[in-house]
Structure 1
Amino acid sequence: MIALTRPPIRHSPVHSPLLIPFALILASLLSGCQTLAFFSEPQSEKVTWTVKPNEVVETHQFSLSADLNIVGGLATLSSRENDTLSDIARHYGLGYNDITLANPGLDPWSLQNDSTILLPLQFIIPDAPRQGIVLNLANMRMFYFPNTRSVLTYPVGIGREGWNTPLGQTQIVAKKANPAWTVPESIQREHQALGDPLPKVIRSGPDNPLGYYAMPLGFKGYLIHGTNKPYGIGMQVSHGCVQLYPEDVENLFKQVDIGTPVRIVHQPFLAAWAGDTLYLEAHQPLDKWEKQRKQLEKDLRGKLKQLAAERQATLDWPKVEATLKRADGVPTPVLVNSPNLAELSAAAPQLEHPERLFGQPEIGELDADAWSTIIADVFQSETEAQKLAAMLNHQGPPIPARKIASNGNYRVLAGPFKTKSEARAAAKRIKQNFDIDAMPQAPSAN
């Protein structure tokens, strides 16, 4: 399919990235919009959108019929140097959760060349009326039904612990392009405590956590919106709002109307027939519902028995239990003599690597006129230095960085920056978000 896309904007974490998984780092970010008020203003920046080339496989839009409850298919891709799982995920319409859970043996930020990446581009549609928008919190994925014949699906970021995205039925009550964000007092206090005070209003632009499009919901203080930290999609990172990649929220914004119904559910276990195969898609219940896991699994087993009985099929219960234990979101056949995940992955079509992954960071060259910022930490491992550089490159807005050899070890150098103030601002963000010291370097030091 063809998807409209905008130039990349990136991410921001907290504490040592080499000791804490990146998903946990991002979960502690202040990137939501709970209890906010905002208004639209004339667009001060011309936003240029490009068209992503046709993909070999469907990634967002799928045909539907009344009896079809599963769409898409698996695929694989061989990684290249400097790829990250986040870049691959975004290019193919997946979230961080989708791709990391489907590839548990791979380091998300330091992929080896020619690693085989499983792309879990198959989805079971939630058990809900196919009207408007259905959001399943359990797999952090939105399904939009423009009509009875098709569905569009997008990965999302949702509310973190303590700021949960609410369940229930609501609707889109407004549409705002280029929104300005009036920062709630609670978030002001959080930033003040971190020594990072915010202005009362953040205008439209790269520093606005709402991105360039926002759609308030009937739930007061909650919105569907874009983000200036796209690599948090597929994580619990917001103050309760629903975030989409910038390119996805623009597509959705253009298609939905005010009054479009929005139903938010939590369905970690999904089952559906595709032809003669019964599939189970299992996700880890979110923390808020973890205590209900046994009951949810019991209900799922009952549903599987009912679905199998309808066609006089025989369930492979060890496969059911293995899929529940894996909880990686990959739809897996669970009938006797059906293929396992390894066989499915081996049979999946291998895609040709695109010339460049969409949104992949492009790092400018340092020259004699550029300021830079040197990270104080010295790494004996090239891999560890590469991880930190990759995380900095995926900040929002980005901090361009690369690893450099240094007396038999490795360091990380950020830049180029046009001015000393930009280099100092980068050093401050690195200290605040990673608890790592960094020092600006004058052009002559590069």
Structure 2
Amino acid sequence: MTINSKTFDRRAFLGAAAGLVGAGLAAPAVFAQTPDAGLETIDNSINSNAHRNISSFRELDWRDYFSTTTNGAILVDTVSRALHYWNDDQSVYKLYPTSVPVSEDLTRRGRTEVIRKVENPTWAPTPSMKARNPEWPDFVPAGPDNPLGTRALYLSWQYYRIHGTHDTRKIGRKSSNGCIGLYNQHIEELYSLAKVGTQVVLV
């Protein structure tokens, strides 16, 4: 299938992205901005000694990862595919299911922070991505075909986002090229709570 600048064929794009990941051509800094990389069968590879609820989310405490919750704190658990949020005084706590990267080499862990908040984000491939896939569009406007959904929190790591998705099948699965995806209604709530400067840790 051909992807041109006027019509963004999402299925062709997702298929091509998944193929590249499967061929081992993806690198985190190159592909993280493209959130969709196909679907995988959900596994249950959660640490056996972790406390879990029915959704297999691990119960995590902010004190194990942050010295303070100043500006709020976001903890992304890539193992149980969940995002935890605490506000400044811990009076607000949220837990959301997420999508996570499809493979270990696309998964980035560590400390970062929210540097920008974007409502109805647009999307563009990275230069390396475009060089390998010249048929991909240079730009995808906000809307139902946009891979970033209705909101995006830009992190200090280049090309990495916490964002929504219009494809709800991807939540709870290994399905991204590096970004963390949420249901649109959840990213919209998180967007209203998080600030520029909110701390983020991925584990």
**Is the structural similarity TM-score above 0.5?**
yes
CA contact (8 A) 1:35 1:184 kept: no
Q: What secondary structure, in the 3-state scheme, does the structure 1 residue paired with 2:191 have?
A: helix
Farther off after superposition, 154-163 or 222-231: 154-163
CA contact (8 A) 2:32 2:176 kept: no
Match of 2:6 in 1: none
Distance 1:234 1:120 in 2: 10
Which whole-Å deviations, capped at 9, do the CAs of 1:267-303 have from their partners, x for residues lacking one? xxxxxxxxxxxxxxxxxxxxxxxxxxxxxxxxxxxxx
How far the C-alpha of 1:121 sits from its partner, in A, is 7.0
Q: Percent identity?
A: 25
Alignment of 1:406-425 (within 5 A): none
**Change in CA separation of 1:159 and 1:189 when aligned onto 2, cut-off 3 Å:** farther
CA contact (8 A) 1:163 1:238 kept: no
Q: What secondary structure, in the 3-state scheme, does the structure 1 residue paired with 2:122 have?
A: strand
Match of 2:94 in 1: 152
CA-based RMSD: 3.3
Match of 1:174 in 2: 116
Alignment of 1:359-398 (within 5 A): none
Match of 1:133 in 2: 74
Match of 2:103 in 1: 161
Q: Does residue 124 of structure 1 match 2:66?
A: no
CA contact (8 A) 2:152 2:163 kept: yes
CA contact (8 A) 1:157 1:238 kept: yes
Match of 1:239 in 2: 177
Aligned letter for 2:85?
Answer: Y
Match of 1:216 in 2: 154
Distance 2:100 2:32 in 1: 15
Q: Does residue 264 of structure 1 match 2:202?
A: yes
Distance 1:190 1:162 in 2: 22
Which whole-Å deviations, capped at 9, do the CAs of 1:415-440 have from their partners, x for residues lacking one? xxxxxxxxxxxxxxxxxxxxxxxxxx
Q: Does residue 201 of structure 1 match 2:142?
A: no
Q: What secondary structure, in the 3-state scheme, does the structure 1 residue paired with 2:65 have?
A: coil
Structure with higher RCO (Cα < 8 A, 6+ apart): 2
Match of 2:49 in 1: none
Which whole-Å deviations, capped at 9, do the CAs of 1:365-411 have from their partners, x for residues lacking one? xxxxxxxxxxxxxxxxxxxxxxxxxxxxxxxxxxxxxxxxxxxxxxx
How far the C-alpha of 1:122 sits from its partner, in A, is 6.1
Distance 2:106 2:187 in 1: 21
Q: What secondary structure, in the 3-state scheme, does the structure 1 residue paired with 2:201 have?
A: strand
CA contact (8 A) 1:163 1:240 kept: no
Match of 1:303 in 2: none
Which whole-Å deviations, capped at 9, do the CAs of 1:14-44 have from their partners, x for residues lacking one? 5xxxxxxxxx99x86x9x984659xxxxxxx
Q: What secondary structure, in the 3-state scheme, does the structure 2 residue paired with 1:219 have?
A: coil
How far the C-alpha of 1:101 sits from its partner, in A, is 4.3
How far the C-alpha of 1:176 sits from its partner, in A, is 0.6
Gap runs ≥5 in structure 1: 1-10, 15-23, 38-95, 103-117, 266-446
Q: Which has the larger radius of gyration?
A: 1
Could you tell me the TM-score, scaled by structure 2's length? 0.67
CA contact (8 A) 2:99 2:174 kept: yes
How far the C-alpha of 1:119 sits from its partner, in A, is 4.4
User: What is the aligned residue count?
Assistant: 164
Which whole-Å deviations, capped at 9, do the CAs of 1:223-281 have from their partners, x for residues lacking one? 1111122211122222211111111111100111110000111xxxxxxxxxxxxxxxx
How far the C-alpha of 1:134 sits from its partner, in A, is 0.8
**Change in CA separation of 1:241 and 1:151 when aligned onto 2, cut-off 3 Å:** same
Alignment of 1:10-21 (within 5 A): none
In terms of fraction of residues, the more helix-rich structure is: 1
CA contact (8 A) 1:160 1:236 kept: yes
CA contact (8 A) 1:160 1:237 kept: yes
Which whole-Å deviations, capped at 9, do the CAs of 1:319-375 have from their partners, x for residues lacking one? xxxxxxxxxxxxxxxxxxxxxxxxxxxxxxxxxxxxxxxxxxxxxxxxxxxxxxxxx
Distance 1:133 1:257 in 2: 11
Distance 2:92 2:157 in 1: 27
How far the C-alpha of 1:198 sits from its partner, in A, is 2.1
How far the C-alpha of 1:128 sits from its partner, in A, is 2.1
**Change in CA separation of 1:174 and 1:212 when aligned onto 2, cut-off 3 Å:** same
Distance 1:262 1:242 in 2: 12
Aligned letter for 1:128?
Answer: Y
Distance 2:184 2:132 in 1: 26
